[in-house]
Amino acid sequence: MKNEKGQALVEFIIILPVTLILMFCVIDFARVISLRSDLESITQDATILLESGKTKEDIERELDLNGANLNIEIKGEYVDVKTSKEIKPITPGFSYILKDVFNVEVSRVIRNE
């Protein structure tokens, strides 16, 4: 009976790092999904403004980009609108396994009219 007293504590100490790393991974994944959603919204608004005749400078002034990069390329009869932003993961040790910065990019192609 005396040998089993610290068993729960030892199990907790063994499981705690794994649980924390999983929690940080879930948070990082949620941050990337949230950023992608924000970039989708910015790209949609930029295409609407571009179709209404605004220039890139006008669009950047009108939209709140929050540090995102807006790139507008005219390719013949199509216009490619891209927004991108880098996000740094908060998971400890993640940069040793994968990249230390993720680049999230959203693109939309519309007809050049």
**Per-residue pLDDT tens for 4-28?**
778 888 889 999 999 999 999 899 9
pLDDT for 102 equals: 86
Q: How far is CA 67 from the centre of its chain?
A: 12
Report residue 1's pLDDT band, with 50, 70 and 90 as the boundaries. Answer: low
Q: Which residues form the domain of 66? A: 2-111
**Per-residue pLDDT tens for 85-97?**
999 888 887 777 7
Tally of residues, the chain: 113
**Per-residue pLDDT tens for 51-86?**
898 888 888 888 888 889 999 998 889 999 999 999
d(CA 31, CA 91): 12
Contacts of 101 (CB under 8 A, 6+ apart): 86, 87, 88
Domains contained in the chain, number: 1
Share of the chain above pLDDT 90, in %: 50
